[in-house]
Structures are given as structure tokens and as C-alpha cells.
Amino acid sequence: MEKKEIISKLPYCKPFLFVDEIIKIDEDGVEGEYTFDENLDFYKGHFKEKPITPGVILTEVMAQIGVVCLGIFLLNENFNSNISIALTSTNIEFLKPVFPNEKVVVVSKKIYFRFGKLKCEVSMKNQKNEIVCSGTISGMIA
């Protein structure tokens, strides 16, 4: 499956699509990137004087690239629009802020994929190659 085809199958659209490009993907993991547009609505109030990206949005970026894109790839021909995707658990540690217009790279390594549950070790790096957050994310694909 082509990288652009995987992105087109994501069940999200702007302004809630947080995948710009899949850099590489195989049965063991995925690497992708996203750039935070300074005009995203949440920057207007988080925080008033110095906007930063909320942790819940960082988690969503990690989940979309690190779990959903990988899940679509692993299902390959068996993936269709009737499939439901749900986040089941996260354990993320936040280490550095992410600012408007910053590009991040998400690296995900599959821990397991069985019985429709995909669990991954996921990290996000900034443009200085510093880890800004990392942890585990699990999701169900049914």
C-alpha cells in the first residue's frame, strides 16, 4: 500500500487531520511528520501570551501517525470504510513544548498487533531532534 493511499484512508479531515507525510512504514513501525499551522484554533487560547500545542493534540498526532496509519498498513487489503478505529489507552510523558509552525516527527514501533488491538511505543521529536514526548498508545481496529 502506498504512503499517500494510507493517508487518504484516515478517518479524519482538516482541521483534525494531523499527518502531513509518512516517511517510512513497514510491519514493525512507522515514521511520519506533521507541521503545526499557527492558525489552528487552539493556539488562540492555549496560552494567551505564548501559545503552545496542548498535550491532548500532541497525543492525537502520535496516535494518528503511530497507531492509525500503522494499523491501516497492517490490515492492507482488508481495510475498508466500514472498519472502526478507537483509542483504548495512552501513557505519554511530555518533556518539551511544541510551538506554532513547528514540524515534528513521530516514530512508532509496534509492540503487538493481535485480536484487533495494536499497541505501539511512540515518540515525537522536534526539529532539533529532541524528544518532546513519548510513551505507549493502544487502539482497537474492528
Domain tally, the chain: 1
Strand, coil or helix: what is 44? helix
Domain extent for 28 = 3-141
Instruction: Show Cβ contacts of residue 16 under 8 Å, excluding neighbours closer than 6 positions.
Output: 60
**Residue of 3, 46, 109, 119 marked active site:** 46
pLDDT, position 10: 93
pLDDT means per 10 residues in the chain (142 residues)? 92 95 98 97 92 98 97 83 85 98 98 95 98 97 77
The residue type at 51: P
Give yes or no: 108 in active site: no
CATH of the domain at 25: 3.10.129.10
pLDDT, position 12: 94
pLDDT, position 62: 98
